[in-house]
Chain A
Amino acid sequence: AQRVTQPEKLLSVFKGAPVELKCNYSYSGSPELFWYVQYSRQRLQLLLRHISRESIKGFTADLNKGETSFHLKKPFAQEEDSAMYYCALGGFKTIFGAGTRLFVKA
């Protein structure tokens, strides 16, 4: 069955520290993976997708098929990065993980 797991409900880091939000997926085939973000009082929006291999707002994510992971990373966290982050597996039915709340402390 297709599944997305985000093991951390809450991640708290200090400003300037590296951050990694974990995502593991279960899918038989070539996955299409995404990270969505929801800032306070804003709608859910796409942050990045693995297929484009781009860096958005300093965030990157590498697809590791061997470990079935798609962790989101940023070398230096900023206070404005505080938000809810959802990993998603695309396809006919986009499946979301439960989300990780990132809190960046000053």
Chain B
Amino acid sequence: EAGVVQSPRYKIIEKKQPVAFWCNPISGHNTLYWYLQNLGQGPELLIRYENEEAVDDSQLPKDRFSAERLKGVDSTLKIQPAELGDSAVYLCASSKTSGGPPTGELFFGEGSRLTVL
């Protein structure tokens, strides 16, 4: 079974440029997460989707970050414009939940490492 797929794996851009990350979750997983992982830190949730609905985007910096999950499958996370402090690894994860708190296992992608110069 294919795992969570993310692209690109690495991206180097100059500040003020836009960047987008793509995620394809495991087939059948209705919940999708975007996490931010700074160097030396654990993953921090940016946004959680249940199917196509963003049910928790409280930690997403909406002035420059946006995300979408059209048709409840693939998802895209965008940053525009990027700042130096956005350099980090952006992780996508998925899980299969059926109502109620998602207490099950999260399946992670390999991550997209962003470097902003």
Contact = CB atoms under 8 A, between A and B. Distances in A.
Interface of A: 4, 6, 9, 32, 34, 36, 43-46, 49, 51, 86, 88, 90-99
Interface in B74-112: 91, 101-111
A92 B101 contact: yes
A43 B109 contact: yes
Given A46-B106, A49-B105, A93 B45 contact: yes
Choose among B42, B45, B104 the residue with the greatest number of A CB atoms under 10 Å from its CB: B42
Contact of A96 (B3, B44, B105): B44
Contacts of A45: 107-108
Nearest to A6: B42
A51 B104 CA distance: 10
B61 interface: no
Q: How large is the interface on B (under 10, 10 to 19, 20 to 34, 35 or more residues)?
A: 20 to 34
A90 B110 contact: no
Which DSSP category, helix, strand, loop or mixed, fits chain A's interface?
loop
Nearest to A41: B110
Given A43-B110, A44-B108, A97 B101 contact: no
Nearest to A101: B40
B42 A96 contact: yes
A85 B102 CA distance: 21
Nearest to A38: B108
Contact of A91 (B41, B43, B55, B102): B102
Nearest to B95: A94
Contacts of A32: 101, 103
A32 to B, nearest CB: 4
Nearest to B58: A93
